[in-house]
Amino acid sequence: MTRLSVTMSLRAAGLVTLLFLPVQACTDLTENPPSQITSSNFFRNEAEVLAGLAGVYAQLRSTAPEGSIYDANEISSDEMVVPTRGSDWFDNGQWIDLHNQTWTATSAATLNFFNGAWNSAYTGVARANLFLSAVQNASVPNKASIIAEARALRAFYYYILMDMFGGVPIVTTTDIALRPRNTRREVFDFIESELIAARDSGLPATRPASDNGRLTKGAADAILANMYINAGVFTKDGAKGGINATGYNSCQGITVAGGTDACQAAIAAADRILNSGNYSLADSFPKVFRYDNFSSPENIFVVKFIAADGLGLDINMAALHYCQYAPLSPWNGFAIMAAAYNTFDPADKRRRTILIGAQNDVLTGQPVTHRVSGSCPAYTPANALIFTDTIADIHSATEGEGPRIYKWPADPNHVQQNSGNDFAWFRLGEIYLIKAEAEFETGNAAQALTLINTLRNRTDAVAPPLAAVSRQVILNERLFELVGEEKRRQDLIRFGGFTSRTDAASGLAGGKVARGNDYVLMPIPQTQIDANPKLTQNPGY
């Protein structure tokens, strides 16, 4: 028995060894994702670098129609409203909250639109930061130009944040950390210096057609020109920080890079574009917005869209009626305010970008109907779809109430709701108006009038020439030229009308009443303060 036990023990020991042998072999827990890449093994050649750069560009789509940044810019202004239509478009009250400017740090509009805007713009910043840190070690041709491109894009994302929220944390590294806000002036200076650096050390003046849409010197100058004309607002932290919520905020007297006065800097930046020879006004206004507007000579900085799944513009879905874009069924939401529509001179051809009255299918031109049993029946005059100018009650609008923006006509080659119209953040038309405004502010009214009349008098003139210019004329001209292009909120704040405009002129019940001066800045969404307690709230919220 003893011998047996010894043998058994030896065998047991051997078996135990065998049993636990795999322990040695199978403890490697390193992860190697088979279908994903990590930044450490990427950005090694030009194709990979360009793929990374495309990712930084792709975030631009979130700034264009119809994303939360667009909604925040348009619906909060006096250009557009999204009324509740029956049970449709109530959406937690967010649209009414946004339009009526009743937002707080935690209200529905803030949770969706402002929080979305904050995240969208900062995601662009983070992508640029990751790209810039990775590309340093890559050896690729045109590296300086590519780096300049990414820096200019990052500056633009900061421009969105600064415009909407004021001072925000400036971050150029890839780590996630809690950081306090910089002042709006610091953000302004940062964006300015980045754009100047990008313009002067890498960005080309023009791009070949195959690179249409990538940033140029002109893009940097256009953002700069816009910043300079807004310098009276953009360098001040809210109404308590010096923004005049009820009067004009001039660029005069604000010193920017190189010790220049902001109005002069705006003129200089506009002139660099106007005198570059690379841009000209399109012969007709509609060509600036059509599906083939990638070739518009007016484009300076656009968000590129093509008719492909997930890559197209879909603003028409948000605005058009269910029955006028067959076979698609649009969402019948966004409406132009009657007052904005009625401000236009009826002779102004630019008013035709707004649909009103009896409606047709936007592609076939056939007259269309309102819905019956959810369908779009055969047309008779009795069931004609008619867009009204006013909306009786924005809490319970009917299907046909409110005019609609139709500035970017449907792409005949659209893929589902994806149209190929590019969205111009900056085009030559606005540069004329920026220069005109800056000239007017520096006492050169005649030059301002010439510029505006030049804009009106393109080959296919949009409107008769004006005889005189004033701030009000400039503001109105910006509305006529730029309606729906995400400029109105910024313009109203600069001209001192953002918080005081009411819906009375549009005949809306339950609409906007005058709000406090502090509303010239959006609240920092509470969700962002929760995530980064070092963020302080804007005054008044």
Partner 1 sequence: MMQRNRHVGLILAFLSFLAIPLAAQNGTIHGQVVDSITQQGLAGATVQLLFRTAGLTVQPGRQIVTDADGRFSLGDVVPGAVTVKATRIGYGPQQQEVNVTAGGTAEARFVLSPQASILEPVVVTGYGSQRREAITGSVATVEANTANVGVKTNADQLLQGRAAGVEVLQNNGEPGAGAQVLIRGGSSLSATNDPLYVIDGVPVNNVATEPQSIGVGGDPSLPRNPLNLINPGDIQSITVLKDASATAIYGSRASNGVILIETKRGNASSGPTFEYDGYVSTSSPLRRLDVLTGNEYRNFVQNSVASWRTDSTSFSSRHPGTDTIFTKHFADSAAAFNALAPSHLADLGSANTDWAAAITRSAVSHNHNLSFSGGTEATRYRASLNYANQQGVTLSSGLERIQGRLSATHSDLNNRLRMDVNVTTSRVNNTYLTYENNGGFEGGVFENVATFNPTLPVTVTDSTGTHFYEVGGTSIRNPVALASQITNIGQTTRTLANGSASFDLISGLTAKVTVGLDHSGGQRQEYYPQSNPVGVALGGGFARQADLENTTQTLQTQLNYQRQFGNNTVDVVGGYEYSKFRTSSLTAQGIGFFTDAFSFNNLGAATTRTTFSDAAESRLVSVFSRANVGFNDRFYVTGVLRYDGSSRFAVGHKWAAFPGVSGSWHLSQESFAKNLPFSDLKLRVGWGLQGNPSVDPYTSLITLAGSTDATYPWGDTPQGGVLATSNGNPNLKWEQTSQIDGAVDFAILNNRISGTVEYYHKNTKDLLLTVNVSEPALVSTQLTNIGSLSGHGLELSLDALAISRPNLTWRGGLVLAAERNKVVDLGGQAYISTGFVSGQGQSNQVSERLIPGYPVGTFYGPVFLGWDAQGHQIFQCSAATPGCVGGKTTTGSGPDQADYRVIGNANPDFTLGVHSEVTWNRFDLSFLVRAAVGQDVFNNTALVYSTKSDALQGKNFLRAALTDSTGIHEPAIFSSRWVENASFVRLQNITVGYDLNLPLLTRSARSARLYVSADNLILITGYSGLDPEVFTSNGLATRGLDYLTYPRPRTITGGLRLLF
272 or 501: whose CB is closer to partner 1?
A: 501
Cis? peptide before 327, omega within 30° of 0: yes
- Asked if 64 contacts 303 with a C-beta cutoff of 8 angstroms, the reply is yes
- Asked if 256 contacts 228 with a C-beta cutoff of 8 angstroms, the reply is yes
Q: Judged by CB under 8 A, does residue 50 bind partner 1?
A: yes
- Using CB under 8 A as the binding rule, the residues of this chain from 498 to 527 that contact partner 1 are 509-510, 527
Q: Judged by CB under 8 A, does residue 404 bind partner 1?
A: no
Q: Judged by CB under 8 A, does residue 370 bind partner 1?
A: yes
- Distance set, CA 531 to CA 76, 179, 320 (Å): 25, 11, 38
12 or 446: whose CB is closer to partner 1?
A: 12
Residue 335 pairs in a beta bridge with 81
- Using CB under 8 A as the binding rule, the residues of this chain from 405 to 444 that contact partner 1 are 415-416, 420
Q: Judged by CB under 8 A, does residue 142 bind partner 1?
A: no
Q: Which of 37, 205, 446, 504 binds partner 1 (CB under 8 A)?
A: 37
Please tell me the distance from the alpha carbon of residue 443 to that of residue 52, in angstroms, as a whole number. Answer: 47
- Using CB under 8 A as the binding rule, the residues of this chain from 146 to 175 that contact partner 1 are 169, 171
- Using CB under 8 A as the binding rule, the residues of this chain from 81 to 110 that contact partner 1 are 84-94, 96, 102, 104, 106-108
Please tell me the distance from the alpha carbon of residue 131 to that of residue 57, in angstroms, as a whole number. Answer: 11
Strand 255-256 and strand 260-261: the pairing is: antiparallel
Q: Judged by CB under 8 A, does residue 112 bind partner 1?
A: yes
Min separation Cβ 252 and partner 1, Å: 34
| Structure tokens, 274 | 């106007």
Q: Judged by CB under 8 A, does residue 11 bind partner 1?
A: yes
- Asked if 434 contacts 447 with a C-beta cutoff of 8 angstroms, the reply is no
143 or 471: whose CB is closer to partner 1?
A: 143
Residue type, 225: A
Q: Which of 138, 268, 363, 392 binds partner 1 (CB under 8 A)?
A: 392
Min separation Cβ 142 and partner 1, Å: 14
Stretch that binds partner 1, among 51-59, 72-80, 194-202, 258-266 (CB under 8 A): 51-59
Number of chain residues interacting with partner 1 (CB under 8 A): 138
- Asked if 70 contacts 313 with a C-beta cutoff of 8 angstroms, the reply is no
Min separation Cβ 11 and partner 1, Å: 7
Strand 299-303 and strand 335-336: the pairing is: unpaired
- Using CB under 8 A as the binding rule, the residues of this chain from 332 to 351 that contact partner 1 are 342, 346
| Structure tokens, 424 | 């111009």
Q: Which of 326, 363, 445, 461 binds partner 1 (CB under 8 A)?
A: 326
Q: Judged by CB under 8 A, does residue 34 bind partner 1?
A: yes
Min separation Cβ 443 and partner 1, Å: 35
Q: Judged by CB under 8 A, does residue 252 bind partner 1?
A: no
285 or 322: whose CB is closer to partner 1?
A: 322
- DSSP calls for 451-470: HHHHHHTSSS--SPPPS---
- Asked if 252 contacts 316 with a C-beta cutoff of 8 angstroms, the reply is no
Reduce the secondary structure of 326-351 to three states and give it as a string: CCCCCCCCCEECHHHHHHCCCCCHHH
Quickly tell me which residue has 């929080």 as its tokens. 115
Stretch that binds partner 1, among 236-244, 320-328, 442-450, 460-468 (CB under 8 A): 320-328
- Asked if 21 contacts 85 with a C-beta cutoff of 8 angstroms, the reply is no
Q: Judged by CB under 8 A, does residue 540 bind partner 1?
A: no
- Using CB under 8 A as the binding rule, the residues of this chain from 300 to 319 that contact partner 1 are 304-306, 308-311
Min separation Cβ 541 and partner 1, Å: 13
Q: Which of 424, 528, 538, 541 binds partner 1 (CB under 8 A)?
A: 528
Pinpoint the alpha helices (H) of 206-261: 217-229, 231-234
H or E segment to which residue 81 belongs: strand 80-81
Min separation Cβ 261 and partner 1, Å: 32
| Structure tokens, 117 | 């805007």
